[in-house]
A and B are shown apart, each in its own frame.
Chain A
């Protein structure tokens, strides 16, 4: 009984770290791989940085990280060195071309593809170290619904699900949403539909997902689940070119339809999520 009065000293390194990360942490996830999750994370970060926000993108796809490939950055010190204690957190943060900061996973992170207590601990430590210094931290998570992905998403105050109009992508996005609602009790999930063919396609997809969700998953009227459509990114050949050149779309062709859409998305996120009271 007296342990409530005098909590015993825990030997865990995170014992003094608050569990709930502060600040705006946005997880970008997808269900299916190859829908442009990392592309969206990187370019959205550039667009948010352009609005004057301090942005950091964390490569949270620990096992199969791709952010380095997308940004064409290969730093000497990575998240792996921070996890293993070889480097300090601030040493691993680098400046990306788009005016934001990145923390890259680096190679040798395969052992972090399983959610061990150490991985949880490292994640929590790093998130708590990062959030005070940025207006927004974007977590570029891995594809799928592994426990590492789910844990990374659970660190975020907001979730953005990226999907394309393809049936396989929609099915996997739906499965992801189902898990986030069922296991993490998320009530708001933000949707970004990438590679849409026509104006309005993305909204139609979000409405459709919402209807199926209401019918099969969010059946409790006391706890409604809202899919918020944040925007479409139209299919745009400039995207492919920027990706192949390994450059940010926001820098190569900032006025192409897809880049404009990402700028819109950044504005909408800024006003509704990051600083809604401004």
Chain B
């Protein structure tokens, strides 16, 4: 980023040089972005121009990973965390859980109380979810009224507990949308553990969690559905279909080859006994 910026400014040709003339750079927009955001502070004055620029760039990077409304991670950050987590799971085998949460009947909130009330609800829910999980977990606003939580190192037996805690916390939340009015909402939660094999992808993982969210919605909302690794089970019906219609011959070599090769009849006989 610095490379690109400096290349257009003949004054600052060397990124390691402290002789960057700050006044030559057009930093007003960048400063205004940080100054106006409630999420990231403007870097304090620094002894060296390089240090100040670094602070500014770090601030912009941080800002680019946050959702402006809720202050949670945005979708961009969420996807990079997901990639990193799935990588870690393949290397370590430690289970990681992805939860997708969608506010139930959110459109009604917007339609009934207005979009500002809707924003307040989203902010309150975001804060509530963040309060339910560990600092190492990533809570993100996935889009609209959908949230996502990545929980690395989350043992399989705790997944349902965490998901249920989030659901119950949202349900119990009393959200003041105006001085005279408080409302309550519910949320549906779907979750899936990261596939622990090397060639699995983040999109497959999201898809599985999404599928469970869809299930939670269709089963009546305000509930948790988690994806369980299917048992490997071949039913009697499957077994029958597998070879029921196949009319396969006896291995032909038992009869036909026996005359050609010395000792073959003995082997053939042994095979028949087996």
Q: Tell me whether A198 and B243 are in contact in the complex, defined as CB-CB below 8 angstroms, given that A1-B62, A151-B198, A216-B238 are known contacts.
A: no
Residues of A within 8 A of B252 (CB): 197-198, 234-235
> Does A20 belong to the interface (CB within 8 Å)?
yes
Q: A197: which of B77, B239, B248, B268 is its contact (CB, 8 Å)?
A: B248
A170 touches B93 (CB 8 A): no
A235 touches B253 (CB 8 A): yes
Please measure, in the bound complex, the distance between the C-alpha atom of A182 and the C-alpha atom of B190, giving whole angstroms: 18
> Does B242 belong to the interface (CB within 8 Å)?
yes
Q: B251: which of A1, A124, A195, A208 is its contact (CB, 8 Å)?
A: A195
Residues of A within 8 A of B242 (CB): 167, 170-171, 174, 208-209, 212
A184 smallest CB distance to B (angstroms): 5
Residues of A within 8 A of B199 (CB): 20, 154-155, 157, 184
Residues of B within 8 A of A153 (CB): 197
Q: Tell me whether A150 and B197 are in contact in the complex, defined as CB-CB below 8 angstroms, given that A197-B251, A237-B264 are known contacts.
A: yes
Residues of A within 8 A of B58 (CB): 2, 5
Residues of B within 8 A of A19 (CB): 87, 90-91, 198
Residues of A within 8 A of B2 (CB): none
List the A residue with the shortest CB-CB distance to B86: A19
B212 smallest CB distance to A (angstroms): 15
Contact residues of B between 36 and 85, Cβ < 8 Å to A:
58, 61-62, 65-66, 77, 80
List the A residue with the shortest CB-CB distance to B230: A182
Please measure, in the bound complex, the distance between the C-alpha atom of A215 and the C-alpha atom of B234, giving whole angstroms: 13
Residues of B within 8 A of A197 (CB): 248-252
> Does B246 belong to the interface (CB within 8 Å)?
yes
A212 touches B238 (CB 8 A): yes
> Does A85 belong to the interface (CB within 8 Å)?
no
As a 0/1 sequence over residues 164 to 178 of chain A, the CB contacts with chain B under 8 angstroms (1 = contact) are 010100110011001
> Does B181 belong to the interface (CB within 8 Å)?
no
> Does A201 belong to the interface (CB within 8 Å)?
yes
> Does B182 belong to the interface (CB within 8 Å)?
no
Residues of A within 8 A of B246 (CB): 165, 204-205, 208
Please measure, in the bound complex, the distance between the C-alpha atom of A216 and the C-alpha atom of B238, giving whole angstroms: 8
Partner-binding segment picked from A57-65, A75-83, A86-94, A112-120: A112-120
Q: B234: which of A4, A151, A178 is its contact (CB, 8 Å)?
A: A178
> Does B261 belong to the interface (CB within 8 Å)?
yes
List the B residue with the shortest CB-CB distance to A205: B246
> Does B195 belong to the interface (CB within 8 Å)?
yes
> Does A9 belong to the interface (CB within 8 Å)?
no
Q: A4: which of B80, B253, B254, B264 is its contact (CB, 8 Å)?
A: B80
> Does B245 belong to the interface (CB within 8 Å)?
yes
A115 touches B93 (CB 8 A): yes
> Does B22 belong to the interface (CB within 8 Å)?
no
Residues of B within 8 A of A2 (CB): 58, 61-62
Contact residues of A between 176 and 204, Cβ < 8 Å to B:
178-179, 182-185, 195-198, 201, 204
Residues of B within 8 A of A238 (CB): 261
Residues of B within 8 A of A174 (CB): 234, 238, 242
List the A residue with the shortest CB-CB distance to B39: A1
> Does A252 belong to the interface (CB within 8 Å)?
no
Please measure, in the bound complex, the distance between the C-alpha atom of A167 and the C-alpha atom of B94, giving whole angstroms: 37
B23 smallest CB distance to A (angstroms): 26
Residues of B within 8 A of A157 (CB): 199
A185 touches B62 (CB 8 A): no
Residues of B within 8 A of A20 (CB): 198-199
Residues of B within 8 A of A4 (CB): 61, 65, 77, 80
> Does A145 belong to the interface (CB within 8 Å)?
yes
> Does B183 belong to the interface (CB within 8 Å)?
no
Please measure, in the bound complex, the distance between the C-alpha atom of A185 and the C-alpha atom of B200, giving whole angstroms: 8
Q: Tell me whether A14 and B249 are in contact in the complex, defined as CB-CB below 8 angstroms, given that A212-B242, A215-B241 are known contacts.
A: no
List the B residue with the shortest CB-CB distance to A236: B253
Q: Tell me whether A204 and B248 are in contact in the complex, defined as CB-CB below 8 angstroms, given that A124-B91, A154-B198, A178-B232 are known contacts.
A: yes
Contact residues of A between 1 and 18, Cβ < 8 Å to B:
1-2, 4-5, 12, 14
A120 touches B90 (CB 8 A): yes
Contact residues of B between 252 and 274, Cβ < 8 Å to A:
252-254, 257, 260-261, 264, 267-268
Beyond contacts A154-B90, A154-B197, A183-B229: 19 other A-B pairs, Cβ-Cβ < 8 A, are A1-B77, A4-B65, A124-B198, A151-B197, A153-B197, A155-B199, A165-B248, A167-B242, A171-B239, A175-B232, A184-B195, A185-B204, A197-B249, A197-B251, A211-B241, A212-B238, A215-B241, A234-B252, A236-B253
9 shortest A-B CB distances, which residue pairs?
A: A154-B197, A197-B249, A235-B251, A154-B198, A237-B257, A235-B253, A1-B62, A197-B252, A212-B241
Interface residues in chain A, defined as those with a beta carbon under 8 Å from any beta carbon in chain B: 1-2, 4-5, 12, 14, 19-21, 115-117, 120-121, 124, 145, 150-151, 153-155, 157, 165, 167, 170-171, 174-175, 178-179, 182-185, 195-198, 201, 204-205, 208-209, 211-212, 215-216, 234-238, 240-241
Q: List 8 A-B contacts (CB under 8 A).
A: A1-B65, A4-B61, A5-B58, A117-B93, A154-B90, A171-B242, A183-B229, A237-B268
